[in-house]
Structure 1
Amino acid sequence: MTAIYKDAGRPVHERVADLLARMTPEEKFAQMHAYWLILDEQGNHRERSDLSDEFAGVSEQAALNERLKLGVGQITRPLGTHIVEAKKGVRAANRLQRTMMEETRLGIPALFHEECLVGLLCKDATLFPSSLNYGSTWDPELVKRAAQQIGKEARSVGCQQGLAPVLDVSRDVRWGRTEETFGEDPWLVGVMATAYVNGLQGDKRDLLATLKHYVGHSFSEGARNHAPVHLGFSELNDTFLLPFEMAVKLANAGSVMPAYHDIDNQPGHSDRFLLTTVLREQWGFDGIVVADYGGVSLLHQHHGIAHDAAESAALAFNAGLDVELPKDDCARHLADAVARGLIPMSQIDAIVTRVLREKFRLGLFEQPYVDENGIDLQSDETREVASRSITLLENNGILPLSGKPRLAVVGPTADDPLALLSGYSFPVHLIISDMLEQTDQVTTPLQALTHYLGESHVQYAKGCQIIEKRMAGAPVFPGDSSGKPMQQSPVSDDIRLIPHAVRVANDSDLVVACVGDLAGLFQSGTVGEGSDTDSLNLPGVQQQLLEALVATGKPVVVVMTGGRPYNLQGLEDRVAALMMAWAPGQEGGWAIADVLTGRAEPQGRLVVSVPKSAGAMPFYYNHKLKSGGTPFAFHFGARYPFGFGLGWTTFNWGKARVAQNTVSIDGEVTLSIEVKNSGERSGSEVVQVYVRDKVASQVRPLQELKAFQRVTLSPGESATLTFTLPVDLFNFTRRDGKRIVEPGEFELQVGASSADIRDVVTVEATGETRVLPGDWRMLSQCVVHKA
């Protein structure tokens, strides 16, 4: 007789209950962690071992083959851990899965996860633009299409869970992981994240998106990686929890990953209130919670709230964790934790029920293997995202370029493929040697401009190095050494290449100066996870290079790439143009050249403010009135505000009108405005609607984005945009933790950026203070009617 759990025709809950009843405690514990392996087609798998083990505090473990007989919850990054051809990697993963299905007592399949923030982190997969690029498009549907393609590639290699998207809300661009965010507005982050999750998971949720880093990771002390966060629940909920709530409720996200830091002395991996009370009980989340790599070990290794690994495991799993990643550093001590009374078997059963439920629901028991001939790893979707995210900040009329000028393409990022990629791109993530051989699909700005203009019209000079030798673990902008010897920064201070760049510039009609970042994890680059900064000056001697180029008197067009905005220390007023391309991915060179030459319009709008200096940090547009100090600090503020971006044309705006000046507290506001293309070229504008609560029972920000819409118009063409905003969007979190809307007056600010407000109207919400239900209305709508 076939066991119930093996019968695909039975309901999932019956299959889970039957299988759970058959499992030994050791088999249950095995489902609560992963293994991080270098897989082998012949079954000679071995554990990954490198410097990360030292970070996580891992000691010697029992023989791998013996432990695998108990099964395992997940396998960590089978194709993203090392350089392996996709077919070979899939064959090796299938071999391991065969062991799980045929050589273990119960035949429970493993679930494979990979990173997929900027494309599947796998050799030869498409290298997508960064999350800042996604956000800068202000186009959720485009983000959804990109995520659909990433999901397609992930499914083709057998990935069932992707560790993305990042829902951290940027507060301080010194933070190295700023490049992973969608920007600094919590509602916009929620909208983009919802689109990404919907695209990645698909209608069937047959690939789990993982919301991270839950929660507040981006508001750390000094913008330093893992540093503590100081927040009350009202601000935590309004700013940092909001995107997670939206992605859970609107997109049915399948997984959540807690963050490394502590909030008010409570580490994220042991926070039962956030992981269970808020996430599961209040929001109705029904997926699995997976640890950030090594995060459980840090409860005793770094945070000091547990004595040992067993206690750390109990704290995390009691709080609401389901699976320890990337290994079993603490989960292998669960038997000890149970014996010591630190965690009951009833909690173990509840966790394993959730893990098994996802495996059954994903169809792993029926389809555990991957077709190696179905692998599909390349897409042309990246060019549109890259092109439409490029943001023009300055232009004295030189752009778009006309004709075929003699061009000097200068700078350390002009012909470096890695400079177009972010920290979670495969070639950057695995900087252990020379990874340039893994960047054949990347087109650099120099290559694209040479293709368009011809070799006779383009001269190249590198001008300077950012980092002369890329290597893992190289410290960049080291912080407090705590008595240890200070490490030497690998950022180059060599200016010997600048004179040659000046000669090339003098022999040209104009200069395209390519500057910015080199992404790299843990201080192997100038931006990325663990690569935080104390300055917003360009890394290395790039500022000296720009000053020398501007001094030639030639027009200088600056193209900045990277994971955070930098200051040009006053050169913004002297360059001919300034363009922010972020980390545009493998098609980034084409996208940059398309915009420079007028083949494409710069449609990007800033999703992070560009602060005046590091002294303005933390800075974000949706601050409170007193944020600038009293008197107003001269160094506070942004040179380029949130929502800002130039195009090829100009627009005239009409007056904003509301259908009613008074609206019920549970009703909707209808606002309309006419926009006309008053220039000579087709182009697009992003109409943005901000709300200000004029008088509230708690301090509120000066403005908060609540609606936006891009409209593309031909010369002379006009359109009326009609926005519908539920009054629910005017909410904030009361001291008792409930989202409420209070009656009163609200300003609706309509503009082209947070600082370029074209009109303001006021509406009054009437009625009694309203506590929002769980299914409160989180989205606004817009209808565009062209004349």
Structure 2
Amino acid sequence: MRLDDRLETLLADMTVDEKVGQLGIFADMLRPFAADVNPEMNELNAGELRERIRAGQVGAVFNGVGAAQGREAQRIAVEESRLGIPLLMGADVIHGMRTVFPIPLGEAASFEPVLAERTARAAAVEATACGLHWTFAPTLDIARDQRWGRVAEAAGEDVVLGTAFAAARVRGFHGDDLTADDCLLATPKHFVGYGAVIGGLEYNSVEISEGTLRDVHLPPFKAALDAGALTVMSAFNDINGVPASAHDELLTGVLRDEWGFRGFVVSDYTADFELVAHGFAGDEREATKLSFTAGVDMSMQSGLYATHLPDLVASGEVSMDTLDEGVRRVLAVKQAIGLFDNPYRSLDPDAEAALDPQALHGELARDAARRSIVLLKNDGGVLPLRRSGQKIALIGPFARDRDNIEGCWTLFGDKSQYVNLEDGLRAALDDGGALTVVDGSGFEDAIDGGIEAAVGAARDADVVLLAIGEPQNYSGEAQSRTRIVVPPAQQALAEAVVATGTPVVVLLRHGRALALHGAVRDAQAILATWFLGTQTGNAVADVVFGDYNPSARLPVSFPRDSGQQPLYYNRQRTGRPELPDMQEFKSRWREMPHGPLYPFGHGLSYTRFEYGPVALSADALDWDGALTVSATLRNAGDRFGEEVVQLYVHDRVASRVRPIRELKDFRKVALAPGEETTVSFELHRDQLAFTTRSGQFAAEPGLFDVWIAPDCESGEAVQFTLRGA
């Protein structure tokens, strides 16, 4: 991007203080503000913020909402500041605005990027009506350790799945026209490697090879930029000892020099200030210099740029050209979304007043939620339940709860529209009186008489729906866990209820993959329901009673035990691979098999799909050619259903040890009972490429295994050869 002539003239007329002002984003204290989502630092009251805007010393504000107050703030910037440069107004709109959609991890379970594009579009419509231009989303961290709380915010452990969802969410936020009132500027985050923090510990260090960084963690960001993203957020973590918010090799070398990114980089909340705590900068002045010259254009909340950049420029430690380039990037983004021509875009109080989220997006929220539910287990076909003729006990702390429907990072949801489990299930029954509801326990603590009441309700019922899992404050930022299990009070409840002998369906609520034990693991049926948002109760009812046949699949591996973390399917081969008979001196755990309880890609249906053998269009893939990989898929059951067909590859011999399997493509296929189709994928050389020992991204000729399968552990491989050039 480049500035048009009028903005180059504007840049030339700006003072250093005004230039630096464009590089600061501060908490929006002029509007109703989402508090308690960040630590307090450099808080400005409303009067102080107004004066800074009037002086041209604020480039953007964040996490305030409301069109009328936003319009007034913009009026001050445009009409009362010397140069009239409009404000950019941002917020954390992660998985919905007034309408809350499933957490991104749950939505990724749909394996439908087009669904994520639709929900991002809906969020953009609502957010811009409420006075926003910019969201700090999507989160693109590939997360292979489920102890990390921010697993909930991204698309799981796989790079191909994550890349597809990254591009879809950017397209959805932006829409067709960047200057339209309903365009919400996307911000891929956290650049980069944040999902690889050691031990799954929030804000921790990252030790990572160049190959893993480039092959796993960078591709979703490249896909997001290719989809049109104009801003990027830097991460909190260090990477091999260099904090991401001062990592010039990545922020400048990769983002700008290799990829040609011309938008701007914003720090995560006070990440520039935290260079001092890292021990990477001696003081705040040095932190400012290191962060800005590395490529962080906009400082969030710390105020360091405003305090120290003018002096750094005056001393020559930061050149005027470098300062101008950072300001130019910020102004260019404001220009790209039409703020200079229409500074009051997305700031229409009448549009906000007319917004009817339920009418606009209620059905989408319900569909997104049910498409995110994974049927993990269904022994004996206990699901779906009948609408009549069964007594159902809904037991557990999530049964009536409305406070743990959203999931993490939902700041502006309309709680009056939330449908809890009791209401959704009761409404779906022919006789709502057939449903008995008992809490049984709290989220973390026992309730006096709770287990006794739950056992009584279970004995009197034909089937139990056991609503247990993590409360929503167990996942998200700063919510790392050492044991990713159902809390003990709820586990005790499950043990007592299952011991009654009444069939039990676990309605698991969670923001990560969990290690399931005892009665929870052994229940007749388990539904992974994540945090599903506004339409939770209705969506769960749709699946439980069979109005919707579950089609979601796991985007993360469910471990047998917390101690297996980090656990992910596309691990590299070892020289002593695990064998089924648990021999000594093999790569294995003493207490259990190496693999997961439920693997990546796993998910059941109320119908049964049969896969035919894999067929290849040729036994070799030419260097510049294409290879068609096909298999027949048949719905052998008696219900309509959708199957996520997955294409996996393994490189037999390479200059770097390759993963045991890698997802290369996927497709959701809908079939009527008895219907059969051929599912075909095209493979190309670039899908087989990786970062070689020489640092090149390239494919290597040789022998490959390929599978078409329902998950990462199923299917029979066939082989093909990649020919050399």
Shorter-chain TM-score bucket reads over 0.9
1:201 aligns with 2:192: no
- With 535-544 and 98-107 compared, the bigger mean Cα shift is at 535-544
Q: Which residue of 2 aligns with 1:347?
A: 322
Q: Which residue of 1 aligns with 2:526?
A: 578
After TM superposition, give the deviation of residue 414 of structure 1 in Å: 1.4
After TM superposition, give the deviation of residue 13 of structure 1 in Å: 2.7
Q: Which residue of 1 aligns with 2:18?
A: 27
Q: Which residue of 2 aligns with 1:236?
A: 213
Change (3 A) 1:40 1:264: closer
* 2:386 paired residue among 393, 402, 424: 402
2: CA distance between counterparts of 1:284 and 1:197?
18
- With 342-351 and 611-620 compared, the bigger mean Cα shift is at 342-351
1: CA distance between counterparts of 2:304 and 2:445?
38
1:504 aligns with 2:504: no
* 1:178 paired residue among 141, 151, 157: 151
Structure 1 residues without counterparts, runs of 5 or longer: 1-10, 42-46, 80-88, 429-437, 467-490, 520-524, 769-787
Query: 1:584 is aligned with what amino acid?
Result: L
Query: 1:128 is aligned with what amino acid?
Result: F
RMSD: 2.2
Change (3 A) 1:447 1:689: same
Q: Which residue of 2 aligns with 1:689?
A: 647
- With 646-655 and 327-336 compared, the bigger mean Cα shift is at 327-336
Q: Which residue of 2 aligns with 1:107?
A: 84
1:617 aligns with 2:602: no
Change (3 A) 1:366 1:158: farther
Partner SS, residue 528 of structure 1: coil
After TM superposition, give the deviation of residue 568 of structure 1 in Å: 3.0
| Within-5 A mapping of 1:51-130 | 52=38, 54=40, 56=41, 63-68=48-53, 69-79=55-65, 89-120=66-97, 125-130=98-103
2: CA distance between counterparts of 1:189 and 1:272?
25
* 1:220 paired residue among 194, 197, 211: 197
1:280 aligns with 2:256: yes
Query: 2:299 is aligned with what amino acid?
Result: E
Q: Which residue of 1 aligns with 2:719?
A: 762
Q: Which residue of 2 aligns with 1:365?
A: 340
2: CA distance between counterparts of 1:721 and 1:51?
46
After TM superposition, give the deviation of residue 37 of structure 1 in Å: 2.7
Query: 1:421 is aligned with what amino acid?
Result: E
2: CA distance between counterparts of 1:493 and 1:236?
44
Change (3 A) 1:167 1:495: farther
Q: Which residue of 1 aligns with 2:313?
A: 338
1: CA distance between counterparts of 2:525 and 2:35?
47
Query: 2:217 is aligned with what amino acid?
Result: F
Partner SS, residue 666 of structure 1: coil
Change (3 A) 1:593 1:333: same
Partner SS, residue 415 of structure 1: coil
Structure 2 residues without counterparts, runs of 5 or longer: 579-584
* 2:301 paired residue among 318, 326, 332: 326
* 2:598 paired residue among 630, 640, 658: 640
After TM superposition, give the deviation of residue 494 of structure 1 in Å: 5.2
1: CA distance between counterparts of 2:9 and 2:165?
40
Query: 1:247 is aligned with what amino acid?
Result: A
1: CA distance between counterparts of 2:694 and 2:655?
13
After TM superposition, give the deviation of residue 343 of structure 1 in Å: 1.6
| Within-5 A mapping of 1:713-724 | 713-724=671-682
2: CA distance between counterparts of 1:496 and 1:316?
57
2: CA distance between counterparts of 1:561 and 1:586?
14
| Within-5 A mapping of 1:2-21 | 12-21=3-12
Q: Which residue of 1 aligns with 2:247?
A: 271
Q: Which residue of 2 aligns with 1:449?
A: 425
After TM superposition, give the deviation of residue 158 of structure 1 in Å: 3.1
After TM superposition, give the deviation of residue 327 of structure 1 in Å: 5.0
CA contact (8 A) 2:285 2:304 kept: no
1: CA distance between counterparts of 2:383 and 2:45?
60
CA contact (8 A) 2:572 2:657 kept: yes
The alignment covers a number of residue pairs equal to: 699
2: CA distance between counterparts of 1:19 and 1:493?
64
Structure 1, residues 301-338: CA drift from partner, whole Å, max 9, x if none? x2021122222111111011111113524443211222
Query: 1:74 is aligned with what amino acid?
Result: A
After TM superposition, give the deviation of residue 57 of structure 1 in Å: 7.0
Query: 1:285 is aligned with what amino acid?
Result: F
Partner SS, residue 58 of structure 2: coil
1:549 aligns with 2:502: no
1: CA distance between counterparts of 2:258 and 2:16?
30
After TM superposition, give the deviation of residue 555 of structure 1 in Å: 0.6
CA contact (8 A) 1:213 1:258 kept: yes
1:710 aligns with 2:673: no
2: CA distance between counterparts of 1:50 and 1:218?
23
Q: Which residue of 2 aligns with 1:773?
A: none
After TM superposition, give the deviation of residue 641 of structure 1 in Å: 0.4
Partner SS, residue 412 of structure 1: coil
After TM superposition, give the deviation of residue 142 of structure 1 in Å: 1.4
1:164 aligns with 2:137: yes
2: CA distance between counterparts of 1:14 and 1:554?
74
| Within-5 A mapping of 1:588-667 | 588-626=536-574, 630-634=586-590, 635=592, 636-667=594-625
Query: 1:463 is aligned with what amino acid?
Result: G
After TM superposition, give the deviation of residue 40 of structure 1 in Å: 5.5
After TM superposition, give the deviation of residue 566 of structure 1 in Å: 2.2
After TM superposition, give the deviation of residue 732 of structure 1 in Å: 0.6
1: CA distance between counterparts of 2:681 and 2:356?
39
Change (3 A) 1:153 1:403: closer
Q: Which residue of 1 aligns with 2:271?
A: 295
Change (3 A) 1:756 1:51: closer
2: CA distance between counterparts of 1:767 and 1:738?
16
Query: 2:699 is aligned with what amino acid?
Result: V
* 1:414 paired residue among 378, 383, 399: 399
CA contact (8 A) 1:606 1:642 kept: yes
Change (3 A) 1:50 1:578: closer
- With 302-311 and 715-724 compared, the bigger mean Cα shift is at 302-311
CA contact (8 A) 2:189 2:235 kept: yes
2: CA distance between counterparts of 1:70 and 1:754?
55
Structure 1, residues 439-483: CA drift from partner, whole Å, max 9, x if none? 2211011111111223310111111111xxxxxxxxxxxxxxxxx
Partner SS, residue 212 of structure 1: coil
CA contact (8 A) 1:37 1:48 kept: no
After TM superposition, give the deviation of residue 15 of structure 1 in Å: 2.4
2: CA distance between counterparts of 1:170 and 1:350?
34
1: CA distance between counterparts of 2:45 and 2:198?
35
Query: 1:38 is aligned with what amino acid?
Result: M
Change (3 A) 1:328 1:254: same
Structure 1, residues 170-215: CA drift from partner, whole Å, max 9, x if none? 2111111111111110111001111111111123334321101111
